[in-house]
Amino acid sequence: MQERNNMEFIDLKAQYRALKNEIDQNISRVLEDTGFIMGRQVEEFEEKLAAYVGVKYAVGCSSGTDALQLIYMAHGIGAGDAVFCPDMTFVASVEPAFMLGAEPVFCDIDKDTYNISPDSLERQIRAVTAKGELKPRAVVAVDFIGNPADYDKLREITEKYGILLIEDAAQGTGASYKGRKCGSLGDIGATSFFPSKPLGCYGDGGAVFTDSEEMRDLLKSLRVHGKGSSKYDNIRIGMNARLDTLQAAIMLPKLAVLDEEIARRQEIAARYDAALKDRFVIPYIGENTISSYAQYALLAEDRMHRDEARTKLQEEGIPAIVYYPNPMHRMKVFAGCFTGDENFENTVNYADRTFSVPFSAYLTKEDQEKIIEVLQAL
């Protein structure tokens, strides 16, 4: 019996083959220079990334989680503070704030975009304020699976209540909202370079985006043990959160082709949309918005239909992954956190029905047609 080759969920191998010469050359230069920690490629990458995103400064760091922790630390967020976050996200969006003593307050998602619901956010801010035990400090707006949040409405709310708007663009690098790139849409932004992200490295990495020179300097201090004039002059408690030179070098050629890849992602998503719109709920992308499609997520009729679809795909060697199976408010680690009167109806509905199919800028038409054929046969 011939062994079936399983399809890649995100084809990093194809991307490497396409950029092999540039990536290999950059790796070799780092090995020859031996500037493994904060080598010249880190600053080059930061400058080019900031220009791409449309901010004055990008501060590279060791992961998307650490990028958010640097932001929380830089703003003094801690005990007694409330940090508002969508109920559907990865734990890293609020884990660092929780570690620093703040309390996450989850908000329901919008039923169409799957991003934080502005209405739920405002209800939760009012509920926290009325209870009087926590101080509203920040909103973490997640560009969920690459689809930008509604920043016009979120900005109105954060300015109304005087709280910080943090953009968690971990999945959104390359996406845009009304002509502005994700990462530039909040008061401060963070992203991740986990290998499967639209702009990924070959390990862990992240960055913080800011237009403030003072904030940039503070972030650079915090990422190296709270350094002052040198790493042996410690003026505050910080972290060991540097971006490795090798990772910066690997991402330079990837950044150079990111817009080309984002354009191909739109074409691939459009083919999925046209083929599957009558059988599943396809992703909703708002007007004047471009998604990075970090994942291509479908909604089935219910959990049973979702499980049937995943089983059929997996029988054909096609991976189908759920992002994410558990809303934050149901996580054991957050038991006891403030939930107000929210029932998180949209989040629970999404978690029960969602599944994602293989997607990347390098997904072949042959593989995509095979995926579509399986799903259309359900």
Predicted confidence (pLDDT) per residue in 161-172, tens digit: 999 999 999 999
360 touches 11 (CB < 8 A): yes
Judge contact between 85 and 116, C-beta under 8 A: yes
pLDDT, residue 4, reads 55
Query: Given a cut of 80, is residue 147 above it in pLDDT?
Result: yes
pLDDT of residue 231: 86
- Residues 6+ positions from 119 with CB-CB distance below 8 Å: none
Q: What is the mean pLDDT of residues 57-86?
A: 98
Q: Topology of domain 258-376, per CATH? A: Aspartate Aminotransferase, domain 1 (3.90.1150)
pLDDT score at 5: 67
Q: 111-132, pLDDT tens digit by residue?
A: 999 999 999 999 999 999 999 9
Q: Do 182 and 172 touch, CB atoms closer than 8 A?
A: yes
Closest CA to 358 of 272, 264, 254: 272
Phi-psi domain of 24 (left: phi exceeds 0; alpha: psi -120 through 50; beta: other): alpha
- Cα–Cα distances (Å) from 104 to 74, 195, 340, in that order, read 18, 27, 12
Residue 1 in this model has a pLDDT that exceeds 50: no
Q: Where are the domains of the chain?
A: 12-256, 258-376
Does an H or E element contain 213, and which? helix 213-222
What is the maximal distance between C-alpha atoms in the chain? 67
Orientation of helix 213-222 relative to helix 64-74, angle to 10°:
120
The Cα–Cα gap between 212 and 185 comes to 14
Contact 71, 190 (CB under 8 A): yes
Kindly tell me if the per-residue pLDDT of 306 is higher than 90: yes
Chain mean pLDDT for the chain: 97
What's the whole-number mean pLDDT along residues 89-103? 98
Measured CA to CA in angstroms, residue 39 lies from 35, 190, 221, 344 at distances of 5, 22, 17, 46
Give the mean model confidence (pLDDT) for residues 259-287: 97
- The structure's pTM equals 0.97
3, pLDDT greater than 60 = no
Residue 245 pLDDT: 98
For residue 269, give Cα distances in angstroms to 37, 97, 179, 291, 361: 38, 34, 20, 10, 10
- For residue 378, the SS3 value is coil
What topology does CATH give the domain 12-256?
Aspartate Aminotransferase; domain 2 (3.40.640)
Instruction: Tell me which residue of 280, 264, 296, 290 sits closest to 361, measured CA to CA.
Output: 264
β-sheet bridge partners, residue 204: none
Cβ contacts of 57 within 8 Å, gap of 6 or more: 46, 50, 209, 210, 211, 212, 213, 215, 216
Output the pLDDT for position 2: 42
Indicate whether 202 pLDDT > 50: yes
Question: What is the band of 291 on the pLDDT scale with cuts at 50, 70, 90?
Answer: very high
Q: Considering only CA atoms, which of 46, 66, 64, 65 is closest in space to residue 56?
A: 46
| Mean pLDDT (whole number) for 18-31 | 98
The CA-based angle 344-347-352, given to 5 degrees, is: 125
- Cα angle: 281, vertex 285, 290; to 5 degrees: 140
